[in-house]
Amino acid sequence: MVKHIVLFKLISFSGEEDKKSQLNELKVIFSVLPEQLDYIAEFRTGINFTVAGHAWDFVIDSLFSGKEDLKKYQESDEHQSAIRKASSIGKMKAVVDYEF
């Protein structure tokens, strides 16, 4: 099994309402992927509620049966479309992929 975790930290927003709106937009953009791609074993998105400078704002937590399915997901038109839609949101990104 392969766990694929992506964290986003927003870097460009005008205030808390704008930040909340951008986070909700990320949730809408990425949450549809498991409905579109049947080889995703598990998929969750979440908006962070912890207020701390070191905290990240948004997570995609997904599971695949192997590296091949992860690669297929990353290269899929649906995933690439989600990336393009989210590109207007200013953010930093961190990724962890591991096998277990």
Supply the CATH number for residue 55's domain: 3.30.70.100
The residue whose two tokens read 């297929």 is: 72
Residue 99, pLDDT score: 98
Domain ranges, residue 91: 2-99
| 72 to 37, 60, 86, 94: CA distances (angstroms) | 10, 17, 20, 20
pLDDT, residue 18, reads 98
Mean pLDDT by 10 residues, the chain (100 residues): 98 96 98 98 98 96 98 98 98 98
pTM of the model: 0.94
Three-state DSSP at 67 gives: helix
| HEC string for 75-99 | HCHHHHHHHHHHCCCCEEEEEEEEE
**How many structural domains is the chain composed of?**
1
One-letter amino acid at 29 equals: I
> Residue 29's pLDDT is what?
98
